[in-house]
């Protein structure tokens, strides 16, 4: 099944939910970055949240980036998404792994990310300056950190659930997430109902692993409400790097610098952080760049 996300709204229009299945895109990220189980979970949760947050943006060309900078051994997690359902991302130390937590057997993402640090959200909406919001990390588990970001930076009460189930062979067995947002007209009774429901539900990766679709997960989580699906879109891991972009980036260097690369290395190999793709330029390619600049 292809990954996709849905948005749903209740009949009063005050409770909205975004639910995403992301098993394939997280597996794609794992293969590209050869991540450890814990790194897969951390990067996968971030990519899932980014896909959902990107789908909330208004204009076609808007993009959103998340930077999770904790004090744990994974280093930074950087993810970017657009309104076409494309996300990409990487983690500084994809090889770091740690034991599962003793109490619940889950991968210890909080320890790997670190509980002290910042979540920074950058939204490029085609304006002169991008919107930048940030908040302190709460647990390093990512879902709580994003909920806290919404509460503190955007004054938007939200419940966030993100999950990645890693198989014994390290492949991604199931991944997904949801964000519930309460709009200003929501009544107290409904908030209580939602809190009760959230305290009883299973981890989202369990629902996905059991074969539930995003629509069915919405029905399960918000079964007390009359929910309606108002949008659906496919999502995937996709990087927009290309040979042309690399050439453009190198063209912006001074000719002396390009000549230096030619003299010292013969050619250039540029590795894309986001997808690990290697872009190779030969000596002739680099010489052509210098010539073309005239």
Site residues for Zn ion per CB under 5 A: 239, 241, 272, 274-275, 277
- 90 or 178: CB nearest Zn ion: 90
SS3 call for 216:
helix
- 43 or 179: CB nearest Zn ion: 43
- 224 or 240: CB nearest Zn ion: 240
- List the beta strands (DSSP E) in the chain: 4-10, 15-21, 63-70, 76-82, 86-91, 117-124, 131-136, 158-166, 172-182, 227-234, 236-237, 268-271, 278-281
Taking the complex as a whole, the smallest distance from the CB of residue 240 to Zn ion amounts, in Å, to 7
Buried b / exposed e along 241-259 (16+ C-beta atoms within 10 A): beeeebbeebeebeeeebe
Closest to 1 measured CA to CA, from 16, 17, 14, 20? 20
- 149 or 274: CB nearest Zn ion: 274
Taking the complex as a whole, the smallest distance from the CB of residue 235 to Zn ion amounts, in Å, to 17
Contact 151, 136 (CB under 8 A): no
Taking the complex as a whole, the smallest distance from the CB of residue 86 to Zn ion amounts, in Å, to 11
Contact 40, 18 (CB under 8 A): no
- 64 or 239: CB nearest Zn ion: 239
Spatial distance between the Cα atoms of 157 and 15, rounded to a whole number of angstroms: 11
Taking the complex as a whole, the smallest distance from the CB of residue 279 to Zn ion amounts, in Å, to 9
- 245 or 293: CB nearest Zn ion: 245
Taking the complex as a whole, the smallest distance from the CB of residue 69 to Zn ion amounts, in Å, to 21
- 95 or 242: CB nearest Zn ion: 242
Q: Tabulate helix, strand, coil % of the chain (nearest 5).
A: 35, 30, 35
Buried b / exposed e along 279-294 (16+ C-beta atoms within 10 A): bebeeebbeebbeeee
Interior CA angle at 131 toward 118 and 164, to 5°?
50
- 7 or 67: CB nearest Zn ion: 67
Closest to 138 measured CA to CA, from 109, 169, 174? 109
Q: What is the DSSP letter of 76?
A: E
Taking the complex as a whole, the smallest distance from the CB of residue 244 to Zn ion amounts, in Å, to 12
Taking the complex as a whole, the smallest distance from the CB of residue 242 to Zn ion amounts, in Å, to 8
Taking the complex as a whole, the smallest distance from the CB of residue 211 to Zn ion amounts, in Å, to 32
Report the DSSP pairing between strands 131-136 and 117-124: antiparallel
């Amino acid at each position: 099944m292809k990954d996709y996300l849905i948005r749903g709204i209740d009949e009063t229009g005050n409770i909205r939910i975004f639910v995403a299945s992301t098993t394939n895109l997280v597996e794609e990220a794992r293969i590209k970055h050869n991540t450890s189980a814990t790194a897969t979970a951390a990067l996968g949760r971030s990519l899932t949240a980014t896909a959902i947050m990107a789908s909330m943006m208004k204009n076609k060309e808007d993009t959103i980036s998340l930077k999770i900078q904790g004090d744990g051994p994974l280093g930074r997690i950087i993810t970017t998404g657009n309104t076409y359902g494309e996300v990409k991302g990487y983690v500084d130390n994809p090889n770091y792994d740690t034991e599962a937590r003793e109490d619940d057997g889950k991968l210890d993402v909080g320890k790997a990310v670190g509980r002290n640090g910042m979540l920074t959200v950058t939204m490029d909406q085609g304006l002169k300056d991008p919107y930048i919001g940030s908040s302190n990390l709460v647990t390093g588990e990512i879902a709580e950190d994003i909920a806290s970001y919404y509460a503190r930076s955007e004054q938007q009460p939200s419940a966030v659930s993100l999950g990645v189930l890693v198989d014994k062979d390290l492949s991604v067995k199931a991944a997904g997430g949801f964000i519930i947002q309460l709009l200003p007209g929501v009544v107290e009774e409904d908030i209580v109902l939602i809190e009760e429901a959230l305290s009883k539900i299973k981890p989202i990766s369990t629902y996905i692993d059991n074969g539930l679709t995003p629509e069915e997960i919405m029905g399960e989580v918000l079964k007390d409400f009359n929910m309606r699906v108002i949008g659906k879109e496919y999502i995937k891991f996709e990087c927009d790097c290309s040979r042309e972009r690399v050439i453009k980036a190198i063209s912006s260097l001074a000719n002396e610098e390009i000549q230096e690369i030619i003299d010292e290395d013969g050619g250039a190999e540029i590795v894309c952080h986001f997808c690990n793709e290697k872009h190779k330029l030969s000596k002739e390619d680099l010489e052509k760049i210098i010539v073309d600049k005239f």
